[in-house]
């Protein structure tokens, strides 16, 4: 058996990260391509295939690669498709449903399995990260959007159609909620993603005259990193932004716990860099709103894996099953 | 093997229903005892054991019974205990955690398995009812309280500690929500249980002077049945009460779908007698608030089994595994 490596691909709204992985979970080489520069998915797939071939060269070429695992927003494990992904700009021939696994197989000659990016991250966390040894946990990814991977009894929950675990699109505010990319209003993602934090910043800055380091940044260009930096310097408005964000996330997590009673909730993605700025208000809201039998019992942990590694490793784990 | 029958017990807030069941799912005989007349669980267990022995007589006596399955609010499958059940009045020696399985074994000499009453109902529905052949569905019980049994990939979700599926205690209203028996405010159960419907009735009647058939009932004594009867006679206030209830339940279900992507949601319990009075506003809210990929795709069905049968059959299914 020469095919002793797999490729893991993590497709995000802006960039796609990929790596070649051995059976022990070492990422031997990795690279990045842009996701958002292609309007046509076929051109994207061509770029991706080229990057995959380049990576494969590091382990002796494509004949040593067993298969490709892909984590992608709205990826469907059962169908190998990407459905209506509101954060991806791909159009072209397929509007609603893109047969990504098939397209990548056609360009590379290798078998492909794909799932939701957050499900892939959960698999990576279970195999190599903070959820090692856990059978029941929820992974929440706080990136451009908010994703989730739910593990029950050691298995990722795919549901009837393969789309289970869209917790970023749980509606938190039913009246007057923020417009979401999904077409509805009030989704968790509009408040607790990196983009959501920037929206909160613009809102709080507009609602008051309170002095803030953030006022030196062009309002439209504020990022969650700006807010984090300001909060770490003690900026009161920036701290309030994280209090609001953590509170909203804690309220959501309290309800998720009532669903699957997880041992832990693992948080992953750019926003976790805020550390206790996010976690403290989150834990307060979780404790206040969770059913008493779980109060103080649910671990909330940040991913122990570097963001890109977890996603690549998780996606690659899919490929071993091919 | 003489032990070819099992006993299923469904413990509700007011009454406990039990039946002796054969391997083909026939309830050969059943009976009822009061749950709420005992402050001490040991006295309740003594009554229950007597009722179990009476039932067993119909199939030749206790030596023909293999075991007892119990569905009970806050029943823990892993531990065989009942934890902090806010709808049960039992106190006595055990305050927080009642080792009910052990107590019943001690009184009857038979092995006992127990789970949440709603999980038991879900097992009954999967084996004999509206969820036959389904691997992914959510059972919502609309009784004195609101319970849930979640089935993923053909298995009941118990979670890390055995308490998964407490969807009646998902917080729907974070500010100014109704006081719940669990100690918090705004739980789904305070709005969409039979008791919740009566609370809505009192609220709507107090908020307006609108004529209603319900004004002939003492406000404190109004039941969900009164509201249902009035609504079926075209009473506008009563119809509004069900519109409010269905809307709240539909909003909750839309979020549950984002969690486990079920093929169907099965509704069970007294409130389902309201039929389309409940289902129509429920479906409208579900369609409005669910992520577009599921819009129009989630079946919502009423249980096909008589309420007592489903719970007894589900509980009895546990006993076959003993």
pLDDT tens-place string over residues B271-320: 999 999 999 999 999 999 999 989 999 999 999 887 768 889 999 988 88
- Report the predicted TM-score, pTM, of the whole model to 2 decimal places: 0.89
Task: Tell me, yes or no, whether A241 lies in a domain.
Answer: yes
Distances (CA, A) of B59 to B4, B63, B264: 9, 9, 37
H helices within chain B, ranges in order? 41-57, 100-108, 117-128, 189-192, 194-207, 224-232, 236-260, 276-289, 307-320
Check: CB of residue B238 under 8 Å from CB of residue B214: yes
Residue A166 and residue A254 share a domain: yes
CA–CA dist A7, A30 (Å, integer): 9
Selection from B134, B140, B126, B146 nearest residue B190 by Cα: B146
| Same domain assignment for residues B165 and B254 | yes
Whether residues B167 and A297 touch (CB distance < 8 A) is answered with no
User: What is residue A153's predicted lDDT score, i.e. its pLDDT?
Assistant: 95
In a domain, B37, yes or no: yes
**Residue B87: predicted pLDDT:** 62
* A279 falls within a domain: yes
Domain shared by A54 and A181, yes or no: no
Phi-psi label, residue A257: left if phi above 0, alpha if psi -120 to 50, beta otherwise: alpha
Q: Which residue has the higher pLDDT, B38 or B9?
A: B9
Q: Is B231 helix (H, G, I), strand (E, B) or coil?
A: helix
For residue A12, the tally of other CB atoms under 10 A from its CB is 24
Task: Please check whether residue A128 lies inside any domain of the structure.
Answer: no
Q: Which residues in chain B are closer than 8 Å to A87, comparing Cβ atoms?
A: none
CB-CB under 8 Å, A182 with B261? no
- B278 and B147 within one domain: yes
- Three-state DSSP class for A266? strand
Range A18-22 contact pairs with CB under 8 angstroms and sequence separation of 24 or more = A18/A48, A18/A51, A18/A52, A18/A55, A18/A312, A19/A55, A19/A308, A19/A309, A19/A312, A19/A313, A19/A316, A20/A55, A20/A56, A20/A58, A20/A59, A20/A65, A21/A312, A21/A313, A21/A316
Shortest Cα–Cα distance, A53 to chain B (Å): 34
Closest residue on chain A to B170 (Cα): A255
* First-to-final CA distance of chain A: 14
Q: What is the pLDDT of residue A85?
A: 67
Q: What is the pLDDT of residue B92?
A: 60
Residue-level pLDDT, tens digit, chain A, 322 residues? 588 999 999 998 889 999 999 988 899 999 999 998 888 889 999 999 999 999 999 999 999 999 999 999 889 999 999 987 666 777 666 667 899 999 999 999 999 999 988 899 898 898 888 998 999 999 999 988 999 999 999 999 999 999 999 999 999 999 999 999 999 999 999 999 999 999 999 999 999 999 999 999 999 999 999 999 999 999 999 999 999 999 999 999 999 999 999 999 999 988 999 999 999 999 999 999 999 989 999 999 999 887 768 889 999 988 887 7
Query: A271, A194 in Cβ contact below 8 A?
Result: yes
Q: Is residue B236 part of a domain?
A: yes
Contact yes or no for A108/A298 (Cβ under 8 A): no
Contacts of A75 in chain B (CB under 8 A): none
CA distance B139 to chain A (A): 12
Express the helix, strand and coil content of chain B in percent, nearest 5 each: 45, 20, 35
Beta-carbon contacts of A111 under 8 Å, excluding residues fewer than 6 positions away, are A66, A67, A68, A105, A319, A322
Neighbouring residues of A185: CB distance < 8 A, sequence distance ≥ 6: A171, A173, A176, A177, A178, A179
Q: What is the mean pLDDT of residues B27-47?
A: 92
User: Is A35 in the same domain as A115?
Assistant: yes
Greatest pairwise CA separation for chain B in angstroms: 67
pLDDT band at B85 (very low <50, low <70, confident <90, very high): low
Q: Is residue B228 part of a domain?
A: yes
Nearest to A167 by CA among B289, B290, B259: B259
Phi, psi of A146 (to 5 degrees): -120, 120
Rg over CA atoms, chain A: 20
State percent of chain B over pLDDT 70.
Answer: 97
Residues B171, A136: C-beta atoms closer than 8 Å? no
Instruction: Give the Cα-Cα-Cα angle A238, A181, A190 (nearest 5 degrees).
Output: 25
Measured in residues, chain B has a length of: 322
Neighbours of A14 (CB within 10 A): 12
The total domain count for chain B is: 2
In this structure, the answer to whether residues A297 and A314 fall within a common structural domain is no
Residues A98 and A92: their CA atoms lie apart, in Å, by: 9
Q: Answer yes or no: do A144 and A209 share one domain.
A: yes
Rounded Cα–Cα distance for residues A11 and B24 (Å): 50
Range 119-158 of A in CB contact (< 8 A) with B: 135-136, 150, 152-153, 155, 157-158
The interface predicted TM-score (ipTM) is 0.88
**In whole angstroms, what is the distance from residue B309 CA to residue B168 CA?**
22
Looking at the complex, report in whole angstroms how far the Cα of residue A163 sits from the nearest Cα belonging to chain B. 6
3-state DSSP percent of chain A in helix, strand and coil, to 5: 45, 20, 35
- Statement to judge: residues B145 and B292 lie in one domain: yes
- What's B106's domain CATH number? 3.30.420.40
Please state, in angstroms and rounded to a whole number, the distance separating the CA atoms of residues A30 and B213: 71
Q: Are residues A208 and A114 in the same domain?
A: no
No. of H helices and E strands in chain A?
Answer: 9, 13
- Average pLDDT in chain B: 93
Q: Is residue A75 part of a domain?
A: yes
Helix (H) or strand (E) holding A268: strand A264-268
Same domain for B165 and B181? yes
Q: Check residue A309 and give its pLDDT.
A: 84
- B contacts of A263 (beta carbons < 8 Å): 160
First to last CA, chain B: 14
Range of the domain at B111: 5-121+309-320
Please, which residues 280-319 of chain B have a Cβ atom closer than 8 Å to chain A? 289, 291-294, 297
When scoring A83, A169, A249 by the number of chain B Cβ atoms within 10 A, the one with the most, hence best to mutate, is A169
Same domain, A280 and A315: no
The verdict on residue A126 lying in a domain is no
Residue A64 and residue A175 in one domain: no
Half-sphere exposure of B86 (CA within 13 A, CB side): 18
Chain A CB within 8 Å of residue B4 CB: no
């Amino acid at each position: 058996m020469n095919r002793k490596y797999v490729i893991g691909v993590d497709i995000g709204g802006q960039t796609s990260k990929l790596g070649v992985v051995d059976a022990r979970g070492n990422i031997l080489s990795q690279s990045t391509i842009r996701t958002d520069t292609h309007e046509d998915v076929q051109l994207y797939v061509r770029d991706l295939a080229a990057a995959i071939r380049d990576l494969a060269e590091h382990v002796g070429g494509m004949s040593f690669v067993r298969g490709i695992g892909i984590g992608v927003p709205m990826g469907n494990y059962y169908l190998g498709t990407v459905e209506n992904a509101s954060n991806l700009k791909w159009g072209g021939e397929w509007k609603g449903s893109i047969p990504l696994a098939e397209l990548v197989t056609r360009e590379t000659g290798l078998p492909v399995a794909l799932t939701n990016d957050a499900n892939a991250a959960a698999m990576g966390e279970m195999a190599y990260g903070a959820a090692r040894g856990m059978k029941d946990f929820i992974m929440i990814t706080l990136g451009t959007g908010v994703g989730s991977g739910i593990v029950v009894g050691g298995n990722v929950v795919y549901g009837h159609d393969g789309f289970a675990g869209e917790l970023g699109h749980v509606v938190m505010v039913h009246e007057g909620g923020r417009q979401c990319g999904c077409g509805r209003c009030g989704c968790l993602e509009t408040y607790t993603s990196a983009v959501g934090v920037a929206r909160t910043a613009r809102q709080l800055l507009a609602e008051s005259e309170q002095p803030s380091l953030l006022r030196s940044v062009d309002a439209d260009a504020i990022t969650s990193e700006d807010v984090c930096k300001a909060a770490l310097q003690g900026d009161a408005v920036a701290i309030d932004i994280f209090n609001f964000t953590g509170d909203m996330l804690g309220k959501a997590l309290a309800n998720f716990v009532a669903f699957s009673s997880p041992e832990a909730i693992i948080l992953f993605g750019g926003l976790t860099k805020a550390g206790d700025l996010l976690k403290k208000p989150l834990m307060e809201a979780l404790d206040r709103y969770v059913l008493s039998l779980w109060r103080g019992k649910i671990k909330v942990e940040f991913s122990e894996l570097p963001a890109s590694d977890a996603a690549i490793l998780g996606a690659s784990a899919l490929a071993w099953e091919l």
